[in-house]
Amino acid sequence: MKIATEAVQVGVEWDTRTGAMTVPIYQTATFRHPGLGQSTGFDYSRSGNPTRQTLENGIARLDGGCRGFAYSSGMAAITSLLFLFKSGDHLIVTEDLYGGTCRLFDRIFNQYNLSFTYVDTTDNDAVQAAITPATKAVFVETLTNPLLKFADLPALSTICRQHNLLLIADNTFLTPYLQRSLDLGADITIYSATKYLAGHNDTVAGLVVVKDPALAEQVYFHQNGAGAVLGPQDAWLVIRGMKTLGVRLDRQQENALRIARWLASHQRVTKVYYPGLENHPDHELMQRDAKGFGAMIAFEVDEHSLVEQLLLKTKLISFAESLGGVETLMTFPEVQTHADIPPELRARLGINNVLLRLSVGIEDGDDLIEDLTQAFEPEP
């Protein structure tokens, strides 16, 4: 069955008694026991809730994993996964990753003696060279945020197997609709479900999918123990959003390719990062390992003063953080989403004062290009 169909069907099978097409919102903290030493399978909503379980089972099916887990945010999901490691452990991490993840690693978990080395995870030799006796995992974003690099997961998986490392893939930008990271060798997939999976900028959530049952038991232990679980209302919103994942991403990708080509031809744009363009260095690899190129674009303009003009002059396109919703959003990574990355690293990566990030929505593509056109026009 195709991923788009699987997504539509999430939760449909739940209520066999009434035949309800939508899973109910089980807004309850606790569950009554049928007898001493007996359970319905649900006892306390931190440990398990039927609405959340429906979402967790659904994302596991979409991603081809043995078990899924839902958290109160994407950052809560990453935090919970870091409990798999102990003091002294070392992780290799994508260098151009979301600034909030960098903050979590360097300013929170560093104080517990976890160490992180940032490398270009599209460079397999660089990953290999960064491995030490203390290395326990490779954490990769694919696509990366905001520069849209695409790692070779099968090659990274081979390296990880040789050194007995976990391969953890943040697949937020592509979702299972465009890439199933577990099929390509990852052990764990992470999603900020706030983004494309929920898809409507109306809820915050994180999801994790695990391939191996024994590892999944460890992840569940930490999810239940730490308790940063997703509430039933938000779980229901993510389920509802996932049902339209396929049609939304199809439209968003179509718009993104048109806009990327338009930007590439604009005289005030000096560089466009979009893997759907044939000149993108990872274009061919994505054709091999993914079913599309996503709907995120980064681009550089020819002078800093144009950044504020574009952010404030667009009318349909909102100046806002986050991404993946039906509305098109634009942000300035250097001072917003990636402000927590050290300035010297930002400069080396190219996250500079002329770089903008565009999350393309489902509006009419002509209207979006018209909005950008008028925003680029000089002020009278």
Helices 232-242 and 50-63 cross at an angle (nearest 10°) of 30
195 is catalytic: yes
**For 39, phi and psi rounded to 5 degrees?**
-145, 150
46 is catalytic: yes
Q: Which of 26, 71, 98, 118 is catalytic?
A: 98
Q: Which of 46, 103, 261, 271 is catalytic?
A: 46
Q: Which of 195, 240, 248, 346 is catalytic?
A: 195
**Token pair recorded at residue 140:** 């990769």
**Token pair recorded at residue 365:** 């593509």
Q: Which of 170, 187, 234, 289 is catalytic?
A: 170
Are 251 and 362 in contact by the 8 Å Cβ rule? The answer is: yes
170 is catalytic: yes
120 is catalytic: no
Write a three-state SS string for the chain: CCHHHHHHCCCCCCCCCCCCCCCCCCCCCECCCCCCCCCCCCCECCCCCHHHHHHHHHHHHHHCCCEEEEECCHHHHHHHHHCCCCCCCEEEEECCCCHHHHHHHHHHHHHHCCEEEEECCCCHHHHHHHCCCCEEEEEEECCCCCCCCCCCHHHHHHHHHHCCCEEEEECCCCHHHHCCHHHHCCCEEEEECCCCCCCCCCCCCEEEEECCHHHHHHHHHHHHHHCCECCHHHHHHHHHHHCCHHHHHHHHHHHHHHHHHHHHCCCCEEEEECCCCCCCCCHHHHHHHCCCCCCEEEEEECCCHHHHHHHHHCCCCEECCCCCCCCCEEECCCCCCCCCCCHHHHHHHCCCCCEEEEECCCCCHHHHHHHHHHHHCCCC
**For 75, phi and psi rounded to 5 degrees?**
-70, -35
Report the distance separating Cα 167 and Cα 221, nearest Å: 20
Report the distance separating Cα 298 and Cα 213, nearest Å: 38
- Catalytic residue numbers read 46, 98, 170, 195
